[in-house]
Amino acid sequence: MLRFSKKSDYGLIALKHIASQGEDNVVNAREISEKYNLPPDLLAKILQSLSKSGIIKSQFGSGGGYRMAKKPSEVTLKEIVQSIDGPVHLVGCSREDTDCSIEPQCTIKQMLLNVEQKLEAFFSTITLKDI
């Protein structure tokens, strides 16, 4: 079955925490790590990815941390997962850069591509506010 990676799980937990603090409040990564027992180094990488994608903003220096760059109602599950893990693929052959030895005879590729598109569309309807 389709599963989110641990990184996406941790990212969702961190984002929910940051969003719950209000849009102007800065949250320290250590606070999130300790509260939810998340590995600090991995959490730092996840927060960096979310910051690069414009979902959160980082603030450096004393009293630094992270805050939301967008309203929770404007951040989709698709955007979160893709910023952490990249595009979701059910099967390897759905990626354009993959050669498949049975592709000419494959009878399920198109169906799986349709499922991927529907999942992507569904993930686009779920926002951080909904989670």
pLDDT of residue 122 exceeding 90, the answer is: yes
Burial 84-121 (b: 16+ CB within 10 A, else e): beeebeeeebbeeeeeeeeeeeeeeeeeeeeebeeeee
More confident residue, 126 or 92: 126
- pLDDT tens, 87-100? 877 777 766 666 77
pLDDT of residue 1: 58
- The pTM assigned to this predicted structure is 0.87
Class of domain 6-123: mainly alpha
- pLDDT tens, 55-69? 999 998 888 899 999
- Taking the domains of the chain in order of start, what are their residue ranges? 6-123
Contacts of 129 (CB under 8 A, 6+ apart): 19, 71, 72, 73
